Amino acid sequence: MSHLRLGSIAPDFEAQTTAGPIKFHEWIGDSWAILFSHPDDFTPVCTTELGEVARRSNDFTARGVKLIGLSANGLEQHEAWIKDIEAFGEKVAGPTRVKYPIIADKDRKVATLYDMLDHQDASNVDAKGIPFTVRTVFVIDPKKVIRLTISYPASTGRNFDEILRVVDSLQIGDKNRVTTPVNWKKGEDVIVHPSVSTEEAKTLFPEHTVHLPYLRTTPLKV
Ligand code: BEZ
């Protein structure tokens, strides 16, 4: 099994999904992608998460990010579960349409390839005792490079505001020689990258402020 790190190429695979069969790299194309796993269909935390991702999908599309979910169940189960996700989402939070594909990974082929299986929660297993996945997130850039990984336990729903925030930071950092500070949000001041010399900073970021010799902040028009 490959050891996936930031900077690794996301392994390619073929899979059945609720939007038809895909070849992962071909499906990503020139976009960014977020692959996120769920322990199991028809489970409460997952039902809230998939609805939230559906409602936020325009936010991801606006950033050129394609979404794809995964859980260790078959297509028929996924299709039936989507009806529940949409009905529950509609009831608690407004219009909820799951349009992004969900991978049917009953045999854990993709989960194993991406090292998503749960090794710590003995209750997160199927009827045969085979582990389900944890809540993993992979943010993958258009070159298919893994730029972020997060793993949450089955018991804790993820914060998709944070995932959008990281995408914003990565995309801004790819286009400009900047980094982003603690709790940064899009539109707020950024940090001039340490590799930018004092002379370069004057031309690249004329409005920057030097707080410490190694800590310079600047507004950034995006
Ligand atoms: C849930 O989605 O609620 C869940 C799934 C598997 C284990 C624990 C919780």
Instruction: Give one DSSP letter per residue of 155-185, joined into a string.
Output: TS---HHHHHHHHHHHHHHHHSSEE--TT--
- Indicate which atom in ligand 1 lies nearest the CA of residue 132: 6
The pLDDT of residue 40: 94
What values do phi and psi take at 79, rounded to 5? Answer: -60, -40
Among 36, 38, 45, 126, which is best to mutate for testing ligand 1, by the most ligand atoms less than 8 A from CB?
Answer: 45
CA distance 37 to 81: 15
- Write the CA distances from 205 to 181, 187, 213, integer angstroms: 17, 15, 15
Query: Are 157 and 43 spatial neighbours (Cβ–Cβ below 8 Å)?
Result: no
The pLDDT of residue 222: 76
Q: pTM value?
A: 0.96
Among 42, 43, 134, which is best to mutate for testing ligand 1, by the most ligand atoms less than 8 A from CB?
Answer: 43
- Ligand 1 site residues (CB inside 6 A) read 39-40, 43-46, 124, 154-155
Q: Which residues of the chain have pLDDT under 70?
A: 1-2
- Spatial CA neighbour of 119 closest among 154, 146, 148: 154
Which residue's C-alpha comes closest to atom 1 of ligand 1?
45
Is 148 a residue of the active site?
Answer: no
Which of these is catalytic: 4, 46, 68, 163?
A: 46
Per DSSP, the three-state class of 43 is: coil
The pLDDT of residue 2: 58
Q: What contacts 114, CB < 8 A, 6 or more positions away?
A: 4, 11, 35, 37, 136, 138
The pLDDT of residue 181: 98
Residue 103, CB-side half-sphere exposure with 13 Å CA sphere: 27
Per DSSP, the three-state class of 118 is: coil
